[in-house]
Structure 1
Amino acid sequence: MRKYLSWLAVILWMCLIFYFSHQPATESSELSTGIAELIEITVEKVAPNADFITENFHHLVRKNAHFFIYLLLGVLLLHALKLNRIGKYRAMGFALLICVLYAMSDEVHQLFVPGRGAQVKDVFIDSAGATLGIIVYSIINRLNSRIL
């Protein structure tokens, strides 16, 4: 049962990525602007003297979203593969390969969405996020096995 739930989590997360990528540029921009404004308000409360440039921060929010969404995809994929008793390094390779291929297909998908386009640098950001997620998951998994 755990195997099926882990794969369900992977599929649902990929659907969420697809959903965000399918948003036209105006909707996507509104979402990231709203998040950036919420963070800006929080920062102003915590550090009222901070010099904050919203336009630069908006770009940073968008790129970090790519990174962290794929970080979690890497973790979910590696977990699902490990539950299927695939060897450690093979599972890591498969998880990264699937993440990179999905990131590439995601950028191609955006070519067909109004106002959106494909960016190679986003594939690199996505891949870096997935790589970090896979590495962190592996380290935590190794530490857990030593403790238990």
Structure 2
Amino acid sequence: MVFTLALAGCIWFIFSNSMAVAQVSSASSGRVLTLLQGALRRLGHPALAQRLTQHVVRKMAHFCEYMLEGFLLMLCMRVYSRHPLRHITVPMLGGVLTALTDETIQLYSPGRSSQVTDVWLDSVGVLAGILAALVLMALCRLLFHHRDKE
């Protein structure tokens, strides 16, 4: 239930960002850009901070949102299925459908546009999240299986 609620919250967050008009979305990205540039400068990377652009921040945000969604989709699959690997295409399909819906929402948000490349980037993020969840599940299985033998 917790993973399902977290997944619903993640998807709501993704869709709410897509519903924002262009000016609001740009302002949000600008704030994140300023924050990241400041962090990079404090870490001793002023050249990298200078090269970081709002475009890169937006693409990283797409990837990270969908990586979280893929992670949560796979954890939900683990909760609701005894054999989550048999159904691994379900979380991938869910993520791709979210990405397609997300880009469609942007068509109707003033000043925004829809891009096929974002659907591809989002899909790669979902896949990365699924893989991260699989690694975490494998590590948990090894850890708890090892404890059960002792």
TM-score scaled to structure 2, two decimals? Answer: 0.88
1:96-131 Cα deviation digits (max 9, x unpaired): 100001101110111000001110000011000110
1:27 — aligned with what? Answer: 24
Q: Distance in 2 between matches of 1:8 and 1:92?
A: 20
Counterpart for residue 143 of structure 2 = 147
Unaligned runs of 5+ in 1: none
Match of residue 98 from structure 2: 102
- 1:125-140 matches, within 5 Å, as 125-140=121-136
- Aligned position for 1:67: 63
User: Identity, % of aligned pairs?
Assistant: 31
Runs of 4+ in 1 over 6 A off after TM superposition: none
SS at 1:18 equivalent = helix
TM (norm. structure 1) is 0.90
State the one-letter code of the partner of 2:136: I
| RMSD (CA atoms) | 1.6
Q: 1:78, 1:51 → 2: CA distance?
A: 34
Choose which of 43, 46, 50 in structure 1 pairs with 2:47. 50
Matched, 1:78 2:69: no
Select which of 107, 113, 117 maps to 1:117: 113
- 48 and 92 in structure 1: CA distance in 2 versus 1, 3 angstrom threshold: closer
Corresponding letter in the other structure for 2:119: V
Give 1:65 shift: 0.3
Provide the aligned length of Structure 1 versus Structure 2: 144
C-alpha distance in 2, partners of 1:69/1:51?
23
